[in-house]
Amino acid sequence: MVLDIVKYNQDSRGILRKENIDVKNNEHSKFLISDMIETLNVLGGVGLAAPQVSKNLNLFIISFGELKEVFINPKIYAYGYSEQMSEMCLSVPNIPIAVTRKSKVRIQYHNTQWQYKQQEFDGPLARIIQHEYDHLLGKLIIDY
């Protein structure tokens, strides 16, 4: 099922700014992940975080190039040099904003099989991961 995207200017309940909680391994989370993947595929984006679909959970998905991954209860450490680039966001449609981010990221998370993973990414993937992780912190590109 394709889910509705919460837009920052229509977020009367403050979903995009609320504290998020960890995801539990249950049927509800499996259905949510499936719906989020379908939503991202239909919208053609590269990433989608649970708060963007009205769920205050620590969860995001990435679909960029060869990487198609679900990040459950992630923790990141961004490092490297700082780089400014224009970004877009499904919750802030049609407004490109210049955002400064680190060039590399180390992330710890669980995948859909609830296996613990730790990986490092650089370049565009590091930027996308930081962008989606910001959603879990209640931060949007308009905050930069």
What's the pTM value of the predicted model, to 2 decimals?
0.96
What pLDDT score was predicted for residue 51?
98
What pLDDT score was predicted for residue 58?
98
84 in a domain, yes or no? yes
83 in a domain, yes or no? yes
> What pLDDT digit, counting tens, does each position of 82-106 carry?
999 999 999 999 999 999 999 999 9
Q: Collapse the DSSP code of 140 into the 3-class scheme (helix H, G, I; strand E, B; otherwise coil) and give the result.
A: coil
Measured in whole angstroms, the distance separating CA 89 from the mean position of its chain's CA atoms is: 10
H helices of the chain, in order, are 27-43, 123-136
3 in a domain, yes or no? no
What pLDDT score was predicted for residue 13?
82
76 in a domain, yes or no? yes
2 in a domain, yes or no? no
> What pLDDT digit, counting tens, does each position of 12-30 carry?
889 999 989 999 999 999 9
19 catalytically annotated: no
Identify the CATH number of the domain in which residue 129 sits: 3.90.45.10
What pLDDT score was predicted for residue 1?
95
113 in a domain, yes or no? yes
Distances (CA, A) of 69 to 36, 61, 78: 12, 6, 19
64 in a domain, yes or no? yes
Q: Which of 38, 87, 120, 132 is labelled catalytic?
A: 132
1 in a domain, yes or no? no
Round to whole Å and give the CA distance between 48 and 61: 5
What pLDDT score was predicted for residue 12?
80
> What pLDDT digit, counting tens, does each position of 35-72 carry?
999 999 999 899 999 999 999 999 999 999 999 999 99
> What pLDDT digit, counting tens, does each position of 117-127 carry?
999 999 999 99
> What domain range includes position 36?
8-143
H helices of 4-106, in order, are 27-43
Counted domains in the chain: 1
Round to whole Å and give the CA distance between 14 and 8: 9
Distances (CA, A) of 99 to 76, 136, 140, 144: 18, 17, 10, 6
What pLDDT score was predicted for residue 55?
97
Which residue reads 């499904």 in tokens? 90
For residue 11, pLDDT over 90 is answered with no
